[in-house]
Amino acid sequence: MNLTQTKPDDTGIVAAINGDTKFTNRITAIGITNGTRFQTVKNDKRMPVLIYVRETLIALNRKDAEHLEVEVDKK
């Protein structure tokens, strides 16, 4: 599933980063890499996706969030 499909309070890991080199470089520079743990804070339609990663709250636009494949922990 991609990051835009997660719900608030979902936790898991980033499984894959899909996109061109420019996107990959930008997203890894802010600390989002394969295997990174995340928690979805807010995910409203037509709004940025808020995630908590490496003790930092990050807002990703929906287009960028669609490029992040994640594995959500089972509840």
* Distance of alpha carbon 52 from alpha carbon 42, whole angstroms: 10
- Domains in the chain: boundaries: 3-72
Tokens matching residue 59: 């807002």
Question: Tens digit of pLDDT per residue, the chain (75 long)?
Answer: 999 999 999 999 999 999 999 999 999 999 999 999 999 999 999 999 999 999 999 999 999 999 999 999 997
Rg (CA), the chain: 11
pTM for the structure as a whole: 0.90
* Distance of alpha carbon 51 from alpha carbon 69, whole angstroms: 14
CB 50 within 8 Å of CB 58 = yes
* Distance of alpha carbon 22 from alpha carbon 18, whole angstroms: 11
| Protein fold of 3-72 | SH3 type barrels. (2.30.30)
